[in-house]
Amino acid sequence: MSMLSLFIFFLLAFAMTYFMRAYALKKNIIDNPNERSSHSVPTPRGGGVAIVCSYLLALTVLIYSQQLSAHIGLTLMAAGFVIALLGFLDDHGHINSMLRLAIHFLVAISVVISLGGFSEVTAFNGLALGFSANIIAVLFLVWLLNLYNFMDGINGIASVEAITTVVSMAILYYVLNTTLNSDIHWLLAACVFGFLLWNFPKAKIFMGDACSGFLGLTLGILALIALKENLALFCAWIICLGVFVVDATYTLIKRVLSGYKMYDAHRSHSYQILSRKWGSHTPVTLAVAAINLLWLLPLAYYTVTQPLAYPEFMVLVAYLPLILIAMKLKAGHPDA
């Protein structure tokens, strides 16, 4: 993948975000602050459509130039398009949460089938998971899709998480000289960066559900493609996604155990609590980038380069400090 290609798709996403902002202002597609919000100023939303459109075009180019398997490319495109369209419609008018979740499951099931299933996967040095691996894969996609929406709450955080994750994995693919395609990672990073300049450090437009769900699903599919290669690579993906996975999962569990509904609006994620404590979104987003590159990437590198009997153990090592941070900040606590 040439630098020129990356620059072209960066510019495309950047320009499309400008037009999406103009469209959102014209159609009054505005995110007004509420009890879940971490912002205080009404801001246009839906800018992430630029990421979706530019990345789908990038995948089309890769398929046409035979740099990407048509099967993998079309799986990413079809699943991503459906989720992005669902989010776009939700941005324009509320869609029933149960209907939305049902579509999420249908898309996740279709992806697992398209990838050939995961019944052959073993964990913990030989434990055969059988058909249950397919169920886990579906749940993994649905949860990652939704948690990405939950975590898209302050300027730049969802974009920075996506960029640092795919760049980290592209680096690992290069180090391992794997046959897996890393062009799709670099292109996604370029497209997201084109949007990020409109969203960070000061947000001129928000990403919106159309893109947050798209990114969560896309990252999940890329992780499952890596699982087809080997378990250690999949564990590396889980490690690199650690900030989002831990914060969203810990907060949800804490709130459900406290009697709250899963989709109740709130501002009790660790990143939201920190943004209030520090009085700004910027240091929190930069802290996420630092954790991803200075803590999670080295651990992911160790996981894929060392012949570990239990690569799953490294996920626990990576997550433990993140869990302790969430506990210290009282994430999910009603008074947080």
Would you say 74 and 233 are in contact if contact means Cβ atoms under 8 Å apart?
no
- Using DSSP, state whether 85 is helix, strand or coil: helix
What confidence tens digit (pLDDT) does each residue in 302-323 have?
Answer: 999 998 889 999 999 999 999 9
Counting the structural domains of the chain, the total is: 1
Residue 35 has pLDDT above 60, yes or no: no
Would you say 216 and 144 are in contact if contact means Cβ atoms under 8 Å apart?
yes
Among residues 120, 210, 207, 226, which one has the least CA distance to residue 166? 226
Average pLDDT over residues 114-140: 95
Residue 91 has pLDDT above 80, yes or no: no
- Using DSSP, state whether 128 is helix, strand or coil: strand
Q: What is the pLDDT of residue 2?
A: 84
Considering the domain boundaries, does residue 131 fall inside one? Answer: yes
Q: What is the pLDDT of residue 90?
A: 85
Considering the domain boundaries, does residue 284 fall inside one? Answer: no
Mean pLDDT is lowest, of 33-47, 171-185, 235-249, for 33-47
Considering the domain boundaries, does residue 76 fall inside one? Answer: yes
Residue 42 has pLDDT above 90, yes or no: no
Question: How distant, in Å, are the alpha carbons of 30, 112, 133, 146, 260 from that of 89?
Answer: 14, 25, 32, 16, 27
Residue 332 has pLDDT above 70, yes or no: yes
Considering the domain boundaries, does residue 60 fall inside one? Answer: yes
Q: What is the pLDDT of residue 36?
A: 60
Q: Which domain holds residue 208?
A: 3-238
Q: Which run of H or E residues covers position 44?
A: strand 43-44
Q: What is the pLDDT of residue 336?
A: 62
Considering the domain boundaries, does residue 305 fall inside one? Answer: no
**What crossing angle do the helices spanning 270-278 and 282-291 adopt, rounded to 10°?**
130
Residue 335 has pLDDT above 70, yes or no: no
Phi, psi dihedrals of residue 123, rounded to the nearest 5°: -130, 165
Among residues 57, 61, 40, 53, which one has the least CA distance to residue 84? 53
What's 119's DSSP letter? Answer: T
Residue 129 has pLDDT above 60, yes or no: yes
Q: What is the pLDDT of residue 41?
A: 79
Considering the domain boundaries, does residue 121 fall inside one? Answer: yes
Considering the domain boundaries, does residue 34 fall inside one? Answer: yes
User: What confidence category does residue 230 fall into, taking pLDDT thresholds of 50, 70 and 90?
Assistant: very high
**Number of CB atoms found within 10 A of residue 9's CB:** 24
Considering the domain boundaries, does residue 158 fall inside one? Answer: yes
**Number of CB atoms found within 10 A of residue 290's CB:** 12
